[in-house]
Amino acid sequence: MAGIFRAGQFELREAKLIAASGEVVDLSYAILGLTIFEDINKFTISGSVVIQDSINLASFFPLIGQEYLLLKVATASVEGDEAIIDFTKNALNISTVSSRYDTGGGTQAYRLTFVSRELMVDQRVRVNQSLTGSSSDIVKSIYQNHLKTKKNLYIEPTADVKKLVSPNQRPFDLVRHIMNNAVSKQHNDPCYLCFETTRGYHFRSLASMYAQPSVIEYRPFVAGTKTNKGVVNILADMSSIISHSIVATQDSVISNRMGTYASRLYVHDILSKSYQKHIYNYLDNFKNENHIESTNSRYRGDNLEDFPIVSDVLITDDESRISDFPSRTFVQPTSGSMSDNTQVDEFNQYVYTSNRPEMWVQKRNSQMHQIRQSYNVNLHVHGNTALSAGDIIDLNIPYTASTKTSKDEIYDNIYKGKFLVSKLRHDFSIIDNQHSMHIEAVKDSLTYKLPTSNNPEIISEGESLVQEELY
């Protein structure tokens, strides 16, 4: 990589602060550190910048939390809009000025917290109107007409036609309601997420994220290793894992209670006064859902198989599995099986799609809990502005044991393969020109089948001893 001499090297190409008065100050030589947060469960990005101030800018400028921040930063030598963090055309909003303290020698330091402009707009705008079209078209309209964003929009088409009435809702609250009910046109996937990255706004399903090619492979690597030509292998350094920690594996108590493995849904049709019962079984439904390994493989042309994150071990004497106990019950109303009989068009026809809860309630509930309560890992790696939340990475965590099996494993059996970047924090240290990232990555399937058996729960035989004389 020409122009870059070590992993984590970056270029702060622009950093300007615009005051409420319209005055502009160049912060390029005053910034000590910069942090940017991305999260697929958050509508907007946020971050902070630490300033070293020798002219008391905070007082005479003054800094009041109503400034704009123009920012442009990139991994050294990187070109192309997709790989550059650029907020020079769509400024960030300073929201708070905090942690202000004297550092001696006539200087002071303080932290400026910033958020996306659209979050500020969301606090002062309400949507009071009826909206028609597909869910994806309505979301696009909200971003363009109510939030007035000029950022890139990555919107996956939905398979519906809706008429919604918004009663004085904030734009993001309305988007959240639509997101929870949306089903994709491509795969009938109900697992939509709405979030912002440094590339723009995303309204898309898990399946569309799983289908992306991997951005980078992270694996153990000895820092400073040289190529055959005797120079440091920078590409390998950028792919190395500085440190990692396993956040958590699935919690079977919480997952059972939340209906991740099994649930029951009653759909009540208010028009026909009838109801239908739907049973969701994770193990039985697994092959009909889009999971990370098989979905990514299918779009890469490999057609590899993936497997559930729980075993189908038989846990009771009647040979039931963990997914055979509907531990959560949902009740949802509807009006008509296909068409919404509560809304008509200008010709008095029922052309709008009903909410069809059987298409999204149980499946979305299960898969969303899987990516929050499944196999999560935290990574500390060298910075790369080409990587964002919602991207796919290849991960190989080293196999850790004092002894190895006959297979002589190199990587952990579970924490390898495709992972979804669910959270990402960029840390830019201006002092030593070092960019690092903290990543939280998750997967909802495995590359191999978990062991199984007929292994009923172990309980003693006979009746319980009941002691009632306690005084």
pLDDT tens digit sequence for 95-153: 998 878 888 888 889 999 999 999 999 999 999 999 999 999 999 999 999 999 999 99
For 181, residues 6+ apart whose C-beta sits below 8 A from its C-beta are 135, 355, 360
Whole-number Å distance between alpha carbons of 130 and 278: 31
Q: CA angle, 162 as apex, 156 and 167 as ends, to 5°?
A: 110
CATH top class, domain 1-115+234-249+374-445: mainly beta
CB atoms within 10 A of CB 45: 26
What residues of the chain score a pLDDT lower than 50?
Answer: 1-2, 230
Give the residue from 121, 173, 112, 166 showing the smallest Cα distance to 146.
121
Whole-number Å distance between alpha carbons of 217 and 80: 21
Q: What is the pLDDT of residue 427?
A: 96
SS3 326: coil
Q: Taking the complete model, does pTM exceed 0.85, yes or no?
A: yes
For 68, residues 6+ apart whose C-beta sits below 8 A from its C-beta are 17, 18, 91, 92, 93, 94
pLDDT digits (tens, 9 = 90+) for 178-206: 999 999 998 899 999 999 999 999 999 99
Taking phi over 0 as left and psi of -120 to 50 as alpha, with beta for the rest, 237 belongs to alpha
| Residue 269 dihedral angles phi and psi, to the nearest 5° | -85, 110
Residue identified by tokens 């969301």 is: 122
Q: What is the pLDDT of residue 4?
A: 65
Residue identified by tokens 């998750």 is: 442
Domains of the chain: which residue ranges?
1-115+234-249+374-445, 121-211, 254-367
Strand partners, 113: 48, 96
- Edge-to-edge strand list for the sheet holding 329-334: 274-281, 262-269, 329-334
Write the DSSP assignment of 154-223 as a string of letters: EE--BS--EEEEEEEE-HHHHHHHHHHH--BTTT----EEEEEETTEEEEEEHHHHHTSPPS-EEB---T
pLDDT digits (tens, 9 = 90+) for 393-418: 999 988 776 566 656 567 788 888 99
Q: What is the pLDDT of residue 1?
A: 47
| Contact (Cβ atoms closer than 8 angstroms) between residue 183 and residue 351 | no
Q: What is the pLDDT of residue 58?
A: 75
CATH architecture of 121-211: 3-Layer(bab) Sandwich (3.55)
